[in-house]
Amino acid sequence: MKNHFEIHIPPGQSKERLDSYLTSHIENATRTKVQEAIKNGEITVNGRSIKPSYFVQPNDVIAINLNRPDPPEVKAEKIPLDIVYEDDYLLVVNKPAGMVTHPAYKNYSGTLVNALMHHSEKLSQLHSDEDEEFDIVRPGIVHRLDKDTSGLLVVAKDETTHQKLAKQFAAKTSEREYNAIVWGRFKKTSGVIDAPLGRSKSDRKKVAVTADGKHAVTEYEVIEQFGYLALVKLHLRTGRTHQIRVHLAHINHPVFGDETYGGREIVIGGIEGKKRAEIKNLLEMMPRQALHAKKLGFVHPVSKEMMRFESEMPGDMTTLLKILNP
């Protein structure tokens, strides 16, 4: 399968070899694969064939047409699961931070799907997700959480249940509430972030606010302010990849600890000396983004009952809050 896209080199780009740049800016890429693609004419710069040693220039447009390797078979693995509800049609799982939701490049084992396949022989086999198209089946997965985001997920055991649940997520009739510890003081205690999201044109590993991106809306409410950090409650009106993390970074309140979207940098001024050392200690304690899927609600596809579930924040986030508010 071919993967077609373009990368637009931003103004001010520093001198870097093309093969090195693409390896660090394309998800799942290796330097060998990139070099082969360049030599085979599958990568061009400004419409011209170039060498792997070409140095990228500001405002270059790199056109990429890479082959995707066939993924390996996904196998069941005996991995502990925190199941908060289960019946003949679905189950709700509390995913720990650090666990990948479904198999992908370099993560074909140890995922939630591997664990689910061992737990239940009955899982939906639909190719579906909220905003991505996939070329392999993710058994049972109706919606996802990022690897380092903890919290609640619903899993479908059959295709009919999966379709009905997916329709609720697509129609925004499901209920999802997240808690996050984020940078900065808020001028308003609540608000709506309405900004379209798409793959970053300069780094394919990231999502960015882009004019031609998909519609994305996040509601936030400040629960408590702790000087340079805040605890916020978030509701998703849409379900895009990295939506909460990118939206919060977009309004200059990145999720604390989020390495990809600026959460491991001091983003507010006036923090020096003892405070700076204190923040460094907190970041060492929180090696992930401080984001948790706390509440999940949906109408049961068979019983038609409204189902609501709640998960307590994990230990790393509660410890951080205790330090911030002793």
pLDDT the model gives residue 70: 63
pLDDT the model gives residue 81: 96
pLDDT digits (tens, 9 = 90+) for 265-308: 877 766 777 888 888 899 999 999 999 999 999 999 999 999 99
Q: Is the pLDDT of residue 218 over 70?
A: yes
The correct answer on CATH 3.10.290.10 for the domain covering 2-67 is: yes
Options 3.30.2350.10, 3.30.70.270, 3.40.50.150, 3.40.50.720; CATH for 178-291 is 3.30.2350.10
Active site amino acids: 146
CA dist., res. 178 & res. 219, Å (int): 10
CA dist., res. 204 & res. 62, Å (int): 12
pLDDT digits (tens, 9 = 90+) for 149-160: 999 999 999 999
pLDDT the model gives residue 2: 55
Residue 23 and residue 31 in contact, taking contact as beta carbons nearer than 8 Å: yes
Which CATH superfamily includes the segment(s) 72-171? Pseudouridine synthase (3.30.2350.10)
pLDDT digits (tens, 9 = 90+) for 99-143: 998 877 666 778 999 999 999 989 998 765 444 444 455 788 999
Q: pLDDT band for position 67 (50/70/90)?
A: low
Domain extent listing, the chain: 2-67, 72-171, 178-291
> Is there a shared CATH topology between the 72-171 domain and the 178-291 domain?
yes
Question: According to DSSP H, which parts of the chain are helical?
Answer: 18-25, 31-39, 112-119, 159-170, 243-250, 273-285, 315-324
End-to-end CA gap in the chain: 54
Q: Is the pLDDT of residue 318 over 50?
A: yes
